[in-house]
C-alpha cells in the first residue's frame, strides 16, 4: 500500500518557472503589488478623462498608454511572463496570440473597407428588382 502514498515534491521536481515556496503558497506579495498597480491604473484612467489638466485631443493617447501599462502589469505580476530563458514557451505563446488577434482585426478592417467596392452599384440593384 505504501507505493500509492505520494510524497511531497522535491525542489528538483518543480518546473523552473514555478515560484511557489516550500510550503506550497504562491507569492502573495507579488500578487498584491500587481493588484495595487492594476487598481491605480484603472482609477487613473477614469480620473484622467474628467481632469481639465489634460488637453482633450490627447486623452485617447493617454488612455492607450495607460491600457498598455495595465497589460504590462497583468503580464508580469499575474501571468509571470518574463524574459528569462525558462519562460520562452510562454513568451512565444503570447506572441502567437497577439499575432492571431492582429490578423483578425486587420482582416476585419480590410473587409469592411472594401465592402462598397465589391458590391453592385445601386442603380444595378434597382434594375434587378423590377
The pLDDT tens digits for 80-101 are 887 778 888 888 888 999 999 9
Mean pLDDT within 122-130: 80
pTM of structure: 0.59
Instruction: Give the number of domains in the chain.
Output: 2
**27 and 64 part of one domain:** yes
* Mean pLDDT over each residue of the chain, to the nearest integer: 81
Per-residue confidence band for 26, with pLDDT thresholds at 50, 70 and 90: low
**22 and 73 part of one domain:** yes
Question: Is-contact 64 96, C-beta < 8 A?
Answer: no
**65 and 127 part of one domain:** no
5 versus 130: the higher-pLDDT residue is: 130
pLDDT over threshold 90, residue 8: no
Of the residues 57, 80, 103, the one at which a domain ends: 80
Task: Report the pLDDT value the prediction gives residue 13, as an integer from 0 to 100.
Answer: 41
Give the residue numbers spanning the domain of 59. 1-80
32 versus 21: the higher-pLDDT residue is: 32
- The C-alpha atoms of residue 32 and residue 11 are separated, in whole angstroms, by 25
DSSP symbols for the chain = -GGGPPPPPPGGGS-TT----TTS---HHHHHHHHHHHHHHHHHHHHHHH-TTS-GGGHHHHHHHHHHHHHHHIIIIIS---SSGGGHHHHHHHHHHHHHHHHHHHHHHHHHHTHHHHSPPHHHHHHHH-
pLDDT over threshold 80, residue 120: no
**What are 59-72's pLDDT values in tens digits?**
999 999 999 999 99
CA atoms within 13 A on the CB side of 27: 14
**89 and 73 part of one domain:** no
**68 and 56 part of one domain:** yes
**124 and 90 part of one domain:** yes
Per-residue confidence band for 19, with pLDDT thresholds at 50, 70 and 90: low
Amino acid at each position: 500500500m505504501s507505493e500509492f502514498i505520494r510524497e511531497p515534491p522535491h525542489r528538483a521536481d518543480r518546473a523552473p518557472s514555478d515560484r511557489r515556496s516550500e510550503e506550497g503558497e504562491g507569492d502573495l506579495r507579488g500578487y498584491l503589488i500587481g493588484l495595487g498597480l492594476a487598481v491605480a491604473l484603472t482609477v487613473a484612467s477614469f480620473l484622467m478623462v474628467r481632469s481639465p489638466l489634460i488637453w482633450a485631443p490627447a486623452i485617447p493617447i493617454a488612455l492607450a498608454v495607460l491600457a498598455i501599462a495595465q497589460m504590462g502589469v497583468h503580464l508580469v505580476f499575474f501571468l509571470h511572463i518574463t524574459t528569462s530563458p525558462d519562460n520562452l514557451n510562454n513568451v512565444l505563446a503570447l506572441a502567437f496570440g497577439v499575432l492571431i488577434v492582429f490578423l483578425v482585426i486587420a482582416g476585419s478592417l480590410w473587409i469592411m473597407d472594401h465592402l462598397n467596392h465589391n458590391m453592385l452599384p445601386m442603380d444595378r440593384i434597382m434594375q434587378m428588382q423590377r
